[in-house]
Amino acid sequence: MDKQSNIYFVATPIGNMMDITLRALDVLSKSDIIYCEDTRNSSNLLKFHNIDKKLISYHKFNESERVKEILDNLKNGKVVSVISDAGMPIINDPGFVILKEVVENGFSFEIIPGACALINAICGSLFDAGSFCYMGFVPRTDVERKKYFEKFQKMNVTGIFYESPNRLLKTLKFLKDYFGNINVCVCRELTKLFEEYKRGKITDVISYYEEKKVKGEIVLVLDKIEEKSEEIDLNKEILELKKQGYSNKKIVIYLKEKFNISKNKAYELVLNYNEKEKEDV
């Protein structure tokens, strides 16, 4: 260890057992106690790296209770490490409550870098990795998804989302209906034997996963959605159609087919256009 901290938050592999830094192994070897989510899972990792240490489980349901015990250990001069089942603790994993209390109680801490699924995904997606947003797990209900993805769209950057294999197709179909034929990359089983980056238009990616059962762990990456320019183009199109005497109903059908967007989205665009026209008069 470079310097003596009291507590270390250590990144562990997200699949390949070798994806752990020399410093992480050093820290774990010198820890008196390692707090982990699942002792069985973490003992496999430690065994693989010939580390024999006391493991104690903590998870989102007992994290707050464990805090007192961890603070006592730190007061007694013990060296403590915190790991999660995979990747970086705190990133959609427990650890935050502990870290916050540790800081509030005046102990120093170190974050030991390493694997984190979202970082592999953004790099392998081939979308702009210069500015991106990470938004954790996709919510389950349509109402929540709508708000969540609208927030993402407004940021106008690449988006990274964690998703379960069971809900991937539902989410992709929702996105297609809501945003049209956007560019996506499904990053599956990163660093593992069946690692896969499936990039392309969302309609093609949906067809691909409709034929092949979706298995394993998933990070979904979306190319930025440039609402402004797309909506300006669609508004131009609506204006042209109105000039030619098309009814609202016919414009909705035309937009839906030409731009591969949902009927609801096309309807919303026409309504917005009509509202804007009224305001401009």
**Contact set with ligand SAM (CB under 6 A):** 14-15, 84, 86-88, 91-93, 116-118, 162-163, 187, 189-192, 217-219
Nearer to ligand SAM, 127 or 162 (CB): 162
Q: In which element (H, E) is residue 1 found?
A: none
Q: What is the closest distance, in whole angstroms, from the C-beta atom of residue 12 to ligand SAM in the complex?
A: 9
Residue length, the chain?
281
Burial class (CB in 10 A: 0-12, 13-18, 19+), 129: middle
In angstroms, what is the minimal distance from the CB of 95 to ligand SAM? 9
Residue type, 59: H
CB-nearer residue toward ligand SAM: 12 or 73 = 12
Question: What is the spatial order of strands in the sheet that 183-188 belongs to?
Answer: 132-137, 158-163, 218-222, 183-188, 196-201
First to last CA, the chain: 70
Query: Closer to ligand SAM at the Cβ: 94 or 180?
Result: 94
Minimum distance, C-beta of residue 83 to ligand SAM, in the bound complex (Å): 10
State the minimum distance, in angstroms, from the CB of residue 27 to ligand SAM: 17
243-260 burial, b if ≥16 CB within 10 A, otherwise e? eeeeeeeebbebbbeebe
In the complex with ligand SAM, the residue whose CB is nearer, 84 or 158, is: 84
Pick between residue 137 and residue 146 the one whose CB is nearest to ligand SAM. Answer: 137
Nearest residue by C-beta to ligand SAM? 87
Q: Are the C-beta atoms of residues 114 and 20 closer than 8 Å to each other?
A: yes
- Least separation in angstroms between residue 217's CB and ligand SAM is 4
